[in-house]
Structure 1
Amino acid sequence: MSLTPAPIAVAVAGIEKSFGPTRALARADLAVAAGEVVALMGANGAGKSTLVKILSGSHVPDAGTITLGDRIVAFASPSAAKAAGIATVHQATDQAGAAGMTVAENLLLDELCQPGGRFFVSARSIRRRARAIAALIDLDLPLDRDFVDLRPAERQLIAIARAVVAKASVLILDEPTSSLSATEADRLFAIIRRLRADGMAILYISHRLGDLAAIADRAVVMRGGRIVGAFARPIDFPAAVAAMIGRTLEAATHDRKMSAAPIIASIKGARLIPGARPFDLDLHSGEVVALTGTLGSGKSRLLRALFGLETLAQGSFVLDGKPWLSNGPARSIENGVFMVAEDRWASSLLPPEVPGASIAGTIALPHLRRWFPGGLLRVARERKVAAEAIARLGIKARGPDDTLDELSGGNQQKVVLARWQAAPCRLLLLDEPFRGVDVGARADLIAAIRNSQSDSATLIATSDTEEALEVADRILVMRDHSLHEAGDGHGSLTDQIGKVESKKAGDHR
């Protein structure tokens, strides 16, 4: 193996950028070598997106230099950056191709739009050329499918395939797994490893520590528009999180004092599965508790057990001081225990052709018996509740009668949350509530969760550590179907996060 350092593919030095009085970048420095995956981490507002837009030609820096290979460059437009060899796949995958065109046509989009390109191209030649491009990354999509019908992961792969055929030297991936399933993410990671082996430099923008563990050769952390930390593999996860948020994980949760608040729900001696370590958990009035852990750690199982979809192997559950055992969702809902499941389409939303599939009908559905005990629906009440939710949560819709298929993923999730905020709640269970949700909608959802009824408790399962930090008063780590908390004899919370992320790395590599 050669010990010669790989050449630097792209570097920025002293980059500054302000928008009016707001300073987005303050002398940021970063370099990515050929054949290297660098993960760029940072909380919302750290400067990641601004740096990406400068590298991709969407913004011009106020100061500093960009070096590509051995030459200093300046980009006046995204097309100039692309022509120089920097390809960017943005988080919003609807911009990765052209609706109304097929997969084959989108794979050749750069070629077809090139100045001086052929005006007349046969369908046969497009398909032949598209098959060759698809083979570069083992893309097996039907070539005649319309781009608008593709999932986010499929749109990303088309954009990556175009970058490969254009012989880009640098690939920037901006939050690429935000809308992907675990299987789709694994496929993306396999392609990234292949591109890295071929010498491509990859800048991977993400705040997801699981992604970092799976794919990054090195992690660079931004905060306040500057690079504040760099971590080589094996990555010190607690230190990376501390650099990202500016304080240790134990000091990062919200400042509410919950010990004096009434206990809404209490779990004692719980075993999720036979043989698992038993645990206790108290949830206080007005408290938001986040569970984080790897896939299969037991987070979702605990929420389903509390909602009555599964049973505990052992243990007791007390709600408002009384023993509680749900025999199903209907009884849970009657007693103010509500749940938003991980797959909103499978659990919470109705197909558009079904009566009541509107925003108003979706919110009202589980409350019909309580709202309309005589069986006579009052549409005016449904619409009034929905209109209030649209205003309160910032749901982007024409009105209460819109169907859910007309909304983005983030707005769909707001409707699902609004459903459970429309009735008195004692315990709200949220399973991966921010999955497939853009950054803006996530901020709205977090604000809505934290500003909800102060006399209820909220328990959230999330695999994203930063999401937990943003929303929770208290963070617990679930591992091997048991809870672990700072001071429980299993190490600090940061140690537990490190074990979780190391497990993720082992699962992926």
Structure 2
Amino acid sequence: MSVQPAFPAFLRLEGVGKSFAENRVLVDVDLEIRPGEVLALLGANGAGKSTLVKIIAGSHAHDAGQLRVDGEEVRFASPHDARRHGIVAVHQQVEQGVVPGLSVAENLLLDELCGAGSLFFRPGEALKRAAEIAAGLELHLPLQAPIETLGTAERQLVILSRALALKPRLLILDEPTASLSTLEAERLFHVIDRLRERGVAILYISHRLSDLQRVADRALVLRDGRLVGEFSAPLDLGAAVESMLGAALGEVQLQPLQRGETVLSLRDWQLEAHSAAFDLDLHEGEVVALTGLLGAGKSEIAEVLFGLRKHHGGSIRLDGRDWLPRTPREAIAAGVFFAAEDRARNSRVPGFSVRASMTLPFLRSFSRFGFIDRNAERARVAEQIEALDIKGPGQEFALELLSGGNQQKVILARWLLGQGRVLILDEPFQGVDVRARRDIGLRIRASAAGRATLVICSDPDEALEIADRILVVRDGAVVAELPRHDLQRSEILAHLTPSNPSRQETVRI
């Protein structure tokens, strides 16, 4: 990591402020970033990071202060205006970066299709150009398939590839690895290293502290809309977290849970025809993590258990009886609950309040003679808000007004309202800060009695924080079971790729 301090700043912010009505989101922010520098921006959910990014990228106008690019004062009218100055942002919300109904290739070409000369693209030329853009991140994707067929992580990589094709002078990456596994994230880091060598400035926002240790030259800490700390590499992460939260985050010891009877069993189970068969038992009272690379089949296994897709072969037993849900309604009725990875697309209803979002699947339990007992509903919601320390203006405010971490807590609270036998959480820590991550993990384990819990984590560190057992998925099959006790991150990584010789035709877990 070599910063060249002799270079003048590409971007400088001086006293920048922003308010929404009477809410002051940013106050007197000074910041500069130089060519070839990776500047990390840290802050808890709601600290103002996304607002600051949107000002720099042209989505929001600032109320106070100045922005300077190459020493010249600028005021961006739109993201397109910012891109003309060489500033390209990849935002955290994946659904905002792709266009449903278009193919993967068309999404890769989106900026070029909207520009001059797009009418002269022939289909063959378009596919060739899309392949060139995908090669920026060494992606091998079905270019003619609809973008909806890709998972969240693959769509994120499409957005990143498109941003790189614009040849930015400043690249803003907001939680770029939130949906990526360790190896995919490392591939991105190598790209960042190459961009740094070419003199591209990078503003990097992430709650994965290990990311920041790997890529950042400097880190600035934002709290309550103000810059409150600056750290140089190698980063003192403990001090940075304390600066970010305003207090030290105490360590939590993972206490073993009492493992009970078998709740869910898979026997000779195959996700796809080409997948190896495996057996799996999930027990009452334990938390099991499922980890693997992008496309390994983690989410697909969960979708079968929730009635969203079919599997190729083998049996499923729930509480000792043969069982196979045909729809999510059947799964929920049997006590199998699933919080999907893409919160905005699968777990959130636009305009719904915190209360309505939380109680949506279980309104019958609050109904009496066809009428909903609102007092009982509000009381249960208040219990969950207190238990998960959900911060927000109140039960009746729209869910999307909450920070990302608090939205994630509401989705978890939704499924804790019901009497579930199996709780499946796909990437529950995605895009949340360290305090919210700890709160969510503690609540998952504290409420684990009486059900089996399966947590899907792309990040091995998250799996180590939450689980009693860790299962590694590869090519649609569980290929390893790793007890949590004394387990090292390196042991998980060793099972992620096919080079591990211990793989057998049928794995018994």
* Counterpart-to-counterpart distance in 2, 1:2 and 1:210: 20
Could you tell me whether the CA contact under 8 Å between 1:340 and 1:431 is conserved in 2?
Answer: no
Q: Does 1:350 align with 2:306?
A: yes
Residues 290 and 459, structure 1, Cα contact 8 Å, conserved in 2:
no
What CA distance in whole angstroms lies between the structure 1 residues aligned with 2:336 and 2:186? 39
Partner of 1:97: 98
Q: Supply the RMSD in Å over aligned alpha carbons.
A: 4.9
Could you tell me how far 1:216 is from its partner in structure 2?
Answer: 1.4
Q: 1:127·1:143 contact (CA, 8 Å) conserved in 2?
A: yes
Deviation, 1:101, is 2.2
Q: 1:31 to 1:449 in 2, by over 3 A?
A: same
**Are 2:330 and 1:361 aligned?**
yes
Matched, 1:183 2:183: yes
Change (3 A) 1:218 1:460: farther
The 8 Å contact of residues 287 and 445 in structure 2, kept in 1 or not, is answered as: no
Q: Distance in 1 between matches of 2:484 and 2:286?
A: 22
Aligned to 2:113: 112
Deviation, 1:139, is 3.0
Distance 2:410 2:96 in 1: 23
What is the distance in 2 between the residues matched to 1:243 and 1:458?
37
Structure 1 window deviating more from structure 2 (35-44 vs 448-457): it is 448-457
From the superposition, tell whether residues 4 and 77 of structure 1 become closer, same or farther in structure 2 (CA, over 3 Å).
closer
Contact 1:217–1:233 (8 Å) recurs in 2: yes
Q: Give the alignment of 1:469-508 within 5 angstroms.
A: none
Q: Alpha-carbon deviations, 1:322-358, whole Å to 9, x = none? A: xxxxxx967x53xxx2546445653584232576455
CA distance in 2, matches of 1:452, 1:306: 13
Q: Give the CA deviation at 1:103.
A: 2.7
Amino acid at match of 2:102: M
| Aligned-residue identity in percent | 37
Amino acid of the structure 2 residue aligned with 1:135: A
Aligned mates of 2:133, 2:424 — CA distance in 1: 41
Letter matched to residue 418 of structure 2: A
* One-letter amino acid matched to 1:55: I
| Residue aligning to 1:384 | 364
Structure 2 residue aligned with 1:196: 196
> 1:382 & 1:221 partners in 2: Cα distance?
40
Provide the secondary structure at the position in 2 that maps to 1:185. helix
- Counterpart of 1:362 in structure 2: which amino acid? A
Aligned residues between the structures? 378
2:209 paired residue number: 209
Summarize the Cα distance change of 1:341–1:61 in structure 2 as closer, same or farther, 3 Å threshold. same
Deviations 1:372-411 (A, max 9, x none): xxxxxxxxx98734999999489xxxxxxxxxxxxxxx99
Q: Secondary structure at the match of 1:211?
A: helix
More deviation in 199-208 or 187-196? 187-196
Mapping of 1:38-49 within 5 angstroms? 38-49=39-50
Structure 1: distance between partners of 2:18 and 2:200: 27
Contact 2:207 2:432 in 1 (8 A): no
Question: CA shift at 1:88, angstroms?
Answer: 0.7
**Structure 1: how far apart are the matches of 2:32 and 2:302?**
45
Residue 39 of structure 1 aligns to a residue whose secondary structure is strand
Q: How big is each residue's C-alpha offset from its partner over 1:293-324, in whole Å with a ceiling of 9 and x where there is no partner?
A: xxxxxx9xx66x84679xxxxxxxxxxxxxxx
Q: Distance in 1 between matches of 2:34 and 2:28?
A: 20
Higher alpha-carbon Rg: 1
Distance 1:338 1:18 in 2: 45
- The letter of the residue matching 1:422 is G
What residue is the counterpart of 1:242 in the other structure?
242
Judge which range, 446-455 or 162-171, deviates more.
446-455
The corresponding residue for 1:159 is 159
Once the 2 structures are TM-superposed, how far is the Cα of residue 51 of structure 1 from its aligned partner? 0.3
Structure 1 position 7 matched with structure 2 position 23: no
Go from structure 1 to structure 2 and tell me whether the alpha carbon gap of 1:203 and 1:190 turns closer, same or farther (over 3 Å shift). Answer: same
Instruction: Tell me: CA distance 1:81–1:21, structure 2 relative to 1, closer, same or farther (3 Å).
Output: same
Instruction: Give the equivalent residue in structure 1 for 2:57.
Output: 56
Residues 458-490 of structure 1, C-alpha deviation per residue, up to 9 Å, x if partnerless? 999997999999x9xxxxxxxx96689xxxxxx
Deviations along 1:437-459, one digit per CA (max 9) or x if unpaired, are: 778xx79x949949987999999
Q: Distance in 2 between matches of 1:386 and 1:215?
A: 50
Shift of 1:64: 1.0
| 407, 428, 433: which one aligns with 1:434 | 428
